[in-house]
Chain A
Amino acid sequence: MMNIEIPATNRTPSVIFDFAVGHLRITGESYPEDVTTFYNPLFEALKAWLEATEKPGCQFDFELIYFNSSSAKAIMIMMEMLDTAAAKGMNVVVNWFHDPDDETMEELGEEFGEDLNHAKFHLEKRPN
């Protein structure tokens, strides 16, 4: 499966999905003009990869500075996909990195983590 590499813009995050090793990463700010145009291809790629028969475990790193409400929903959708895959036996680790001074991002990470029932979730401070 083709890896995905999207550089960051001032409104969208950097995306690196290295499917070969199972390391997926979203970094930066997210408030796209049209959230579905940006995230739908990612949903489809992630869904297809998670449904593939041969795949390594998955480590998904979220390292976000800021995101809007619809991006929050997009993140929830991806987390739900990951949790569903974990429920089916896949080794899934979700890391949520946030700036040590950013309490909002820390609280959001805690809330997202609460929705994960099967994937392993780590909340970590990491200076930007």
Chain B
Amino acid sequence: MSIDDLFSKEEEVLEDAEAIVTDATFANEPTRKSVLSLVAEYRKLLRTTRRMMRLSDRNERELNSLAEKHRLASDEVSRKNQELEALSAKLAKYLSPQVYKSIFSGKQEVKLTSRRKKLSVFFSDIAGFTEMTERMEAEDLTQLLNSYLSEMAQVALEHGATIDKFIGDAIMIFFGDPETRGVPEDALACVKMAIAMQDRLSELQSEWTRQGIREPLRCRIGINTGYCTVGNFGSEDRMDYTIIGGAANIASRLENQADAGEIYISYETWVHVQNGINCEKVGEIQVKGVAHPIVTYRVLGLTEQTGLSTKMLCKKQHFQLYLDPSSMTPKERDESRKMLEAAMAVITATRPRNSHDT
């Protein structure tokens, strides 16, 4: 059945008229011509209407077909997007959130470029880790290391750090790129993060002890503030977003010099944090690869908490003390008290060395 059937009534009217006008008698020639012309134009108009309707329906079918193709393509794009989102969520775990965010928001170009920026650089590692690897089973060590790194990464992210990389048990972090709150604020955030990491480590110790890890896990930390070259390094096919420069080297060397549980910061960091952080001057340290000595400070705690802090740390030539009563068992507490009382008795009873003695 064709579309023409929709015009059967019009067709019928026209055929009747055509039959009549052929044989009809008209008053005069102009009238006959006018009526013939009217019927002919009606035939033409009907043909045009049919043609336009067919054209309109065909266009509509094509539009529908295009819309359907567009819908299918849109579904496919949506499915691909979901796949990419899932994939990028997996890839994101290999990048620091700030770096990931700056790349995916288009702020950061993924090409081999770098720039100079003043950053606060942090290095840490676990004291005696190499010995631990020899004593512990690989599975237990893996679990412990992952637990430690996860906790430290969590603290780092809470403080807005850019985690550069994990190198075995070592962590490299910096503040000041891709986002910066200003050099002093970045330095303060970096030191606060280091204190929070040491505190978190103390809390985790009892948990790990319950899991059968006898030796306490203690980390050394070094922080320095200075100009670094930050950007993408490597090849066009495989690159790392990282930092290079003497400032990073100094942070690493300070970490090497620190004892277990200590945070060493350079003078350049200290000047920015001295009002918020209670520090003790260690002195000038000569580090490998740096010509001049590094004026170094030991972090004791946050200034606003120093009065409340239960931890004590002292490193003098003839007197060294590390006291953390909140982490002690009752037995350890009794023993420590007795030892301090004995120390007080000894120091009272001993004649001080005369400054003239040699």
Contacts and interface: CB of A to CB of B under 8 A. Distances in A.
B134 interface: no
Contacts of B64: 31
B5 A69 contact: no
A70 B60 CA distance: 11
B53 interface: yes
A39 to B, nearest CB: 8
Interface string A61-104: 00000001110011001000000000000000000000000000
A34 interface: yes
A37 B3 CA distance: 10
A40 B3 CA distance: 11
Given A69-B53, A73-B6, A74-B6, A37 B1 contact: yes
B109 interface: no
Nearest to B53: A69
A35 interface: yes
Contacts of A40: 1, 5
Interface in B44-63: 52-53, 56-57, 60-61
Contact of B5 (A31, A36, A68): A36
B235 interface: no
B2 interface: yes
Closest 4 CB pairs between A and B?
A69-B56, A36-B1, A73-B6, A68-B60
Nearest to B64: A31
Contact of A36 (B6, B52, B56, B60): B6
Contact of A73 (B1, B53, B60): B53
Contacts, number: 36
Interface in B1-44: 1-3, 5-7, 9
A70 B3 contact: yes
A39 B6 CA distance: 9
Contact of A34 (B1, B7, B52, B56): B1
Interface residues of B, number: 14
A103 B98 CA distance: 49
29 contacts: A31-B57, A31-B60, A31-B61, A34-B1, A35-B3, A35-B57, A36-B1, A36-B2, A36-B3, A36-B5, A36-B6, A37-B1, A39-B6, A40-B1, A40-B5, A68-B56, A68-B57, A68-B60, A69-B52, A69-B53, A69-B57, A69-B60, A70-B3, A70-B53, A70-B56, A70-B57, A73-B6, A74-B6, A77-B6
B186 to A, nearest CB: 54
Contacts of B60: 31, 68-69
Interface string A20-61: 000000000001001111011000000000000000000000
Nearest to A69: B56
Contacts of B57: 31, 35, 68-70
A74 B5 CA distance: 10
Q: Which of B6, B52, B64 has the most CB of A within 10 A?
A: B6
B253 to A, nearest CB: 71
Nearest to B5: A36
Contacts of A68: 56-57, 60
